[in-house]
Amino acid sequence: MLVSKVQDERIVPSPDINHFDGVGPIGIRRFCIDDAGAMWSAVRESVNELCEWMVWCKPDYSFEDSAAFVSRCAAEWNENKSYSFVIFDREDDSFLGSIGLNGINHAHKLANVGYWVRHRNARRGVATAATRLVAWFGLRELGLERLEILVPTGNVASLRVAQKAGARFEGILRNRLVLGGKSQDAVMYSIVADDLPHQG
């Protein structure tokens, strides 16, 4: 089991938020304050690719930006606003990227899935494995009914991740995202509980 629920409905992680995927030992775990440096290094390595698609990234992304994000993770988790994870390699504990659930709509039990992988680990199935793990977390452990993955039409790598993770294509939404000050069409994918592989 990934997490356990307590009476106030907050989500409390257990130590085993990790998993071996078929492509290798890919795990996800909560951020801790010591991750700020590793995240900053990964973002700096990948800043050109990330700035093209991620609204939070900027060319001068700093260690302070990383530390502020990591600090917010715990508060937003405890407030049930978002659930952010480190994607890591279970063989050497290296920082591979990040994935999370945000834009949570508690009334309709849905959330958005966002992910990124550092440049050196791209095209190795890392994001796909992490997406499957976070989908299980959101749909089975949090009890959400629907996860959405919204990808700009030009972001081919992220489109492939959604497809390989088993998300279902639902359509193209016109002018859905604003990146670099320009509106862009986006592809909508979804994952529901029936899309998850059966266990046992």
Of 161 and 3, the one with more pLDDT: 161
Cα-based angle 121, 126, 131 (whole degrees, multiple of 5): 145
What is the CB neighbour count within 10 angstroms for residue 38?
A: 19
Beta bridge mates, 4: 12
Q: What percent of the chain has pLDDT over 90?
A: 76
- Please report the pLDDT score of residue 4 as a whole number: 32
User: Over the stretch 62-116, which tens digit does the pLDDT of each residue have?
Assistant: 999 999 999 999 999 999 999 999 999 988 999 999 999 999 999 999 999 999 9
Distance CA 151, CA 159 (A): 6
- Please report the pLDDT score of residue 24 as a whole number: 59
Q: Where are the domains of the chain?
A: 3-7+15-193
Contact yes or no for 127/98 (Cβ under 8 A): no
Global pTM?
A: 0.86
Place of tokens 């991750």: 35
Question: Tell me, which fold does domain 3-7+15-193 have in CATH?
Answer: Aminopeptidase (3.40.630)
Write down the mean pLDDT value for the chain.
87
User: Over the stretch 50-64, which tens digit does the pLDDT of each residue have?
Assistant: 999 999 999 999 999
Structure tokens at 81: 């606003």
